Amino acid sequence: MKLNRILVPTDFSETSEEALKMAANFAELYGSTIDIMHVIPLMSYYQESMDHIGVPFDMDNDIYPHAMENANTKLQEAAKKFIPKEHRGQLINMVGRKISQVIVHRAHSEGHDLILMTNRGSHGGKHARSHLTEQVIRYSEVPVLSIKTAFEPESVKSIMFPFDGSEDSLAAILPAFEFGKKLGATITVMHVIEPYVFSLEVIPPIYEDNEEVYASLIKSMQKYFEEHPELHMHIKRSGDSFEDSIVYEKDGESHSVVFNTVVAKNFAAHAEITSEAESIADLVVMSTHGRTGVARIVLGSTTGVVAQHLDKPLLTVHPGL
């Protein structure tokens, strides 16, 4: 996973400063260029109300220029405070009706490799991630890393990769591998069997033997790598059940990352993933989509619910990247 350009949205709160600190850590590790972005909410609907009561100022000519000037000053201060000069990129100040859409559009149009943001902004809430963060995760085709507090990348020693057996959910395996390789971390492949999945079929996929499920998961991963030779990756079996390695080989270069597979049963996949991640993972890497058809909605929903409740750093990846 290349991290040449990272986009960091900020609302200038103390909480959002954690993303800037994290961006500086990545800049040092990957040599990344950091673009900092602030979005001023569109307030055109206030204009109509003010017209009715005769407020003697104009939003475009009076309010927004002042807000833009103030935000530009804060962007410059934030860049100077947190990002080393050689890694500073653009300072982006925009006005938009829906902040999440402005962030996502900018990341897509400018070719960013990652959106890095904190779980919460200036407003709190009962969920681990704010509504804004959830919306960016939901709609972005650029990977999104959302964190609670900044951390040293080298502190990541255990990465969780939730996998439902589908090709779409395997979209996250490459960044999981690359982070594991770069940081010297192991990967836990987490598969949750939901006894009852509410779909058109309503047939509970019950497996009595975890070995059978494990074998099926390994087969799916091997098939994925065979169908994507451009990844130059394959699985190396250790001879011990539930512990194997992902190997990258190209032009005489070889890297491997150890992964262990965990199979669990729970009526709510998100609950099992969140509970296990809070216990063993330093970072969770997962796809925004999973099984095809109606069941595709299920994993998409699982990712969203995991985002709501997980305090640990979460990297979400859109299929097809």
Go through the domains of the chain in sequence order and give each one's CATH number: 5-147 (3.40.50.620), 153-317 (3.40.50.620)
Residue-level pLDDT at 201:
44
Q: How far apart are CA 183 and CA 153, in angstroms?
A: 7
Q: How far apart are CA 13 and CA 314, in angstroms?
A: 21
Q: How far apart are CA 148 and CA 169, in angstroms?
A: 24
Residue-level pLDDT at 293:
35
Residue-level pLDDT at 316:
94
pTM: 0.86
CA distances from 71 to 6, 75, 120, 241 (A): 20, 6, 19, 55
What amino acid is encoded at 306 in this protein? V
Residue-level pLDDT at 8:
98
Tokens describing residue 131: 């509504």
Helix (H, G, I), strand (E, B) or coil at 7: strand
Helix (H, G, I), strand (E, B) or coil at 47: helix
Q: Which residues, at least 6 apart from 73, have a Cβ–Cβ distance to it below 8 Å?
A: none
Residue-level pLDDT at 289:
76
What amino acid is encoded at 294 in this protein? V
Q: How far apart are CA 22 and CA 131, in angstroms?
A: 21
Smallest Cα–Cα separation from 222: which of 181, 180, 173?
Answer: 173
Residue-level pLDDT at 321:
60
CB atoms within 10 A of CB 302: 26
Smallest Cα–Cα separation from 143: which of 28, 320, 315, 15?
Answer: 315
Residue spans of the chain under pLDDT 50: 44-50, 52-53, 57, 59, 198-204, 292-299
Smallest Cα–Cα separation from 112: which of 183, 37, 39?
Answer: 37
Burial class of 129 by CB neighbour count within 10 A (0 to 12, 13 to 18, 19+): buried
Residue-level pLDDT at 309:
84
Smallest Cα–Cα separation from 176: which of 47, 321, 285?
Answer: 285
Residue-level pLDDT at 2:
86
